[in-house]
Amino acid sequence: MPYALDHFDELVTKTHQGQKLTTDRLDYPYVYDISSAQLSKIEFVKIGVWNEKKTIKFYFPAKEDYAGHSITNLQNTDKYIEGDVDTLSNIMQALGHSHIDLLKIEIEGAEYTVIDNVIGEKIDVKIILVEFDEYHHREGKNLATLRRIKKSSDKILDAGYKLVHTSSYYKKTFVRKDVFEMLRRASN
């Protein structure tokens, strides 16, 4: 998305100038503490994650200052931009990756489809962080939304993960059971 590209470009520019980038979030500003050497190890891939390779519409958010565009048109708007998407396994293969240590999914309503694809393709992911954005938008806190969140969470659990954290905002952290046990043993 344009804001993500701009944000990353700003991070690169400030870091190379020896400055720190601070987010403008008033409640919880975040300061990036990263060196040019660390930043050079990051590859920003300009492709969205979905369940197939194609060009797809990303709908603008209803609020002008909201950053998230939505494949599922989570906020019911008419304006959109188009962008390329692909499966996580295809992206990993193109980058030469065989596993993912941490997968953070905050994708404005597309999380259900991506989770189904990740689980269905049995992608080697150790930790999954997911924000179920639908809870905050289109249908809000109704029973159908809560059922979709539970169904998706249950799929992750059935795929061999443990739920280790959840917030009242439907942000959840799942750790694969073998990794959880290894961490548990290491902490004793």
- Coil, strand or helix: which one is 38? helix
Q: How far apart are CA 180 and CA 164, in angstroms?
A: 9
* pLDDT tens-digit series, residues 24-64: 766 777 889 999 999 999 988 999 999 999 999 999 988 87
116, 51 Cβ separation under 8 angstroms: yes
pLDDT digits (tens, 9 = 90+) for 129-153: 999 988 776 555 678 888 999 999 9
pTM above 0.75, yes or no: yes
pLDDT confidence tier of residue 90, bands split at 50, 70 and 90 = very high
Distance CA 55, CA 86 (A): 9
Residue 34 CB partners (closer than 8 Å, separation 6+):
11, 15
> What mean pLDDT do residues 16-22 have?
91
Q: Distance (Å, rounded) from C-alpha 7 to C-alpha 129?
A: 21
